Structure 1
Amino acid sequence: MTSSGPIGAGSPIRLQPAVPGGRGRVTLQIIADRLAVSTATVSLALRGSPLVAEATRSRVQQMAREMGYSYNRSAASLRTDRTNILGVGFHDITNPYFAELLAAIEETTTANGRSILLGTYGEDLARQDRVLNTLKEYRPDGMILCAAGGSTPETFAHLIAAGVPIVQLSRSIRDDLDFVGSNDRHGTILAMEHLIGLGHRRIAFICENQRISTGRNRYLGYCEVLTRYGIPVDPSLVYAGHGTRENGSKGIQTVLDAADPPTAAVCMNDLSAFGAMLGLRHRGREAGIDFSIVGCDDVQEAAQWYPALTTIRNFQDEMGRKSAKFLISRIAAPDAPPRRLLLTPALVIRGTTTPPRS
């Protein structure tokens, strides 16, 4: 007669003598022999299966801890053709925007029984290629990638050829791959409309960057609004560079030296906006009093500055969660048509914008 109840319910576990032989790798069979149960019972217990009686699960898990058992992920992946690892490649993790994206990705992947393997490469194309090849060697089930500046459609070709499912996050370089990002052009339009509504006409753009899709789209929105209001684009008010604090500080001081200086600035991201605020202070000016600044991203730090930063909220928590869900769906359905999700940004008005001083 067979029982449909949990394995081990109501029966004692018989301990066996220790297996001699030093510090060899602990296997399911060794644990099973120690406890006089089957390897199937040990495997189910270590996975927390309700098919195993609670008392048995507890003893198996305790024995595994005491013996230093380590799950052999490589062997498991060979059996299932799945590693339950998702690769994440970012150009920058020091920017709080990407740290917030990563936190949202990890929260979602963990809830779905996956782990992440992170690689970073700055804005360096050669380093990016090395990092992506290394990630690929770990056989992740898929990758979430934010490409380095200057990447082309060929950048991910070797991953596609290897059959690695990919979701592009924030920056897009291929239309035939899944993408999750923000409507960056619309975000800058919101920022510009806000400044023009306050009365500004001399508006700078700090950290213009044509090497990334976010930079191109944000600058496009800037030019579009100027044209709509009949305001010429003045190259002396555009400072090119990566969106860093240092470039934000350099950029604001450069445009202030123009023959006809600006009264406001839109910054590529919050990081460059923070730098611009510091650059203003070097000139004895203050954002929100003598000059207006709008950032982009709305990282947590933006609300903590004094004055708090007016910025464009890109909902990176939602972007991170959606990218993870997109990838999990892509792994399950590799031949499905590519999906592109553009979240609609929102203007968050705080203390760094004000009408121009007369």
Structure 2
Amino acid sequence: MIEGPPGPALASPAAPGRSRVTLQIIADRLAVSTATVSLALRDSPLVAEATRIRVREIAREMGYRYNRGAAALRTDRTNIVAVGFHDITNPYFAELLAAIEETTTAQGRSVLLGTYAEDLERQRRVLDTLAEYRPDGMILCPAAGSTSESLRPLIDAGIPIVQLSRELDGVELDFVGSDDRAGTFQAMEHLIGLGHRRIAFICANEEISTGRNRYASYREMLVRHGLPFDPALVHMGIGTRENGLKGIQYVLDAADPPTAAFCMNDIAAFGAMLGLRHRGREAGRDFSIVGCDDVREAAQWFPALTTVHNFQNEMGAKSAEFLLNRIAEPAAPLQRLTLTPKLIVRGTTCPPPPR
């Protein structure tokens, strides 16, 4: 999937029987130089606005198509930013992508997207394919189980990389993410403050940095408040709606079931809310659910989901800014930004029911 900025379109073959329109033809039509036409099509401030508008109008009328490949050979820049995500069906990553696209488009870049689920072999193939397009840089959220070696071919090729949301040990790369420990602390403080003493963790996943941080912080908060850790209240798995539904039913079947659950992400929380309904129970009335991410859908559920807001718009935009900075200055010091999340209390949390 390629999304690009407004302006000259991507290269395409000329229509049968129709001569290819060149910069020289447009220049002759307007009685200006080819350099002026080229600068105008790139929206250069060196060309008067009226001339830029006129050049673009004539280019559209004549069916001119910008040859991006030829431009890349001339400048050693493709103006493409590659984005590799493990999951675009999760609205959280769609929101990150939208922020990346908005920021890069404003700087005249196009976005090339590749997705690979949580599949390491598929990730290798996708990243290899993205690299074949010679992007100026990449923004990546690695698949579960990735190691520094997963990115080694890209690093050795000198491709600028920013890690987003998830990060790998053993690599020195720019990173933008959320303080997962702080977010989990806020969620657990809220549930414990309501009186919950049996709190489950739904979709724990120690194969990713976000999962390790959240699960470790969950356990740390239990210790801090003198609450026992019970493995029967932990459901391991990737954070999906299906696993959220299975997870809540799994922990409800424990000998001493929980009265609340912290979920790895919002979509797992949505599944958990549905799982409660399968048991004739309702979040915010009979049981407390807290998610993590605060996707737009979270406020639209009934009841609306209590969740940890990770400021994904800022995360996506900053990852794009970091990458553009890295492309401009490859030898600059490493950039790292960890945003402090905020708990958003809505309708899915309540005190535990009397026993």
TM-score (norm 1): 0.91
Change (3 A) 1:50 1:318: closer
Q: In the alignment, what sits opposite 2:205?
A: 209
Q: In the alignment, what sits opposite 2:127?
A: 132
Q: How far does residue 25 in structure 1 lie from its aligned partner after superposition?
A: 2.6
SS in structure 2 opposite 1:86?
strand
Q: 2:96 aligns with which of 98, 101, 111?
A: 101
Q: In the alignment, what sits opposite 1:314?
A: 310
Q: 2:236 aligns with which of 221, 236, 240?
A: 240
Q: 1:192 aligns with which of 166, 172, 188?
A: 188
Q: In the alignment, what sits opposite 2:271?
A: 275
Q: In the alignment, what sits opposite 1:141?
A: 136
Whole-Å Cα distance in 2 between the matches of residues 60 and 197 of structure 1? 65
Q: How far does residue 236 in structure 1 lie from its aligned partner after superposition?
A: 0.6
Map 1:297-336 → 2, pairs under 5 A: 297-336=293-332
> Are residue 176 (structure 1) and residue 202 (structure 2) matched?
no
Whole-Å Cα distance in 2 between the matches of residues 269 and 54 of structure 1? 48
Change (3 A) 1:54 1:183: closer
Opposite residue 70 of structure 2, the aligned amino acid is A
Superposition misfits of 4+ residues, deviation over 6 angstroms = none
* Deviation sequence 1:304-324 (CA, Å, 0-9, x none): 111111111100011001101
Whole-Å Cα distance in 2 between the matches of residues 336 and 229 of structure 1? 43
Opposite residue 34 of structure 2, the aligned amino acid is T
Whole-Å Cα distance in 1 between the matches of residues 196 and 97 of structure 2? 36
Q: 1:69 aligns with which of 64, 67, 73?
A: 64
> Are residue 260 (structure 1) and residue 269 (structure 2) matched?
no
* Deviation sequence 1:62-86 (CA, Å, 0-9, x none): 3211221111111111111111111
Q: How far does residue 337 in structure 1 lie from its aligned partner after superposition?
A: 2.3
* Deviation sequence 1:266-325 (CA, Å, 0-9, x none): 000000000000000000000001000000001111111111111111000110011011
Q: 1:78 aligns with which of 73, 78, 98?
A: 73
Change (3 A) 1:222 1:122: same
Q: In the alignment, what sits opposite 1:117?
A: 112
SS in structure 2 opposite 1:42?
helix
Opposite residue 211 of structure 2, the aligned amino acid is G
Identify unmatched segments of 5+ residues in structure 1.
1-20
Q: In the alignment, what sits opposite 1:340?
A: 336
* Deviation sequence 1:309-346 (CA, Å, 0-9, x none): 11111000110011011111111111122222111011
Q: How far does residue 156 in structure 1 lie from its aligned partner after superposition?
A: 0.6
TM-score (norm 2): 0.92
> Are residue 157 (structure 1) and residue 148 (structure 2) matched?
no
> Based on CA coordinates, which of the two structures has the bigger radius of gyration?
1
Q: How far does residue 98 in structure 1 lie from its aligned partner after superposition?
A: 0.4
Q: In the alignment, what sits opposite 2:40?
A: 45
Change (3 A) 1:168 1:357: same
* Deviation sequence 1:147-170 (CA, Å, 0-9, x none): 011100111100011100000000
Change (3 A) 1:59 1:198: closer
Whole-Å Cα distance in 2 between the matches of residues 337 and 300 of structure 1? 35
Q: How far does residue 26 in structure 1 lie from its aligned partner after superposition?
A: 1.8
Map 1:49-60 → 2, pairs under 5 A: 49=44, 51-52=46-47, 56-60=51-55
Q: In the alignment, what sits opposite 2:9?
A: none
Q: How far does residue 27 in structure 1 lie from its aligned partner after superposition?
A: 1.3
Q: How far does residue 42 in structure 1 lie from its aligned partner after superposition?
A: 1.9
Q: 2:85 aligns with which of 87, 90, 97?
A: 90
Whole-Å Cα distance in 2 between the matches of residues 331 and 179 of structure 1? 14
SS in structure 2 opposite 1:327?
helix
SS in structure 2 opposite 1:296?
strand
Change (3 A) 1:163 1:216: same
Whole-Å Cα distance in 2 between the matches of residues 71 and 78 of structure 1? 13
Give aligned pairs, total: 338
Whole-Å Cα distance in 1 between the matches of residues 50 and 209 of structure 2? 56
Whole-Å Cα distance in 1 between the matches of residues 51 and 351 of structure 2? 71
The CA RMSD over aligned residues, in Å, is: 1.5
Q: In the alignment, what sits opposite 1:16?
A: none
Opposite residue 101 of structure 1, the aligned amino acid is L
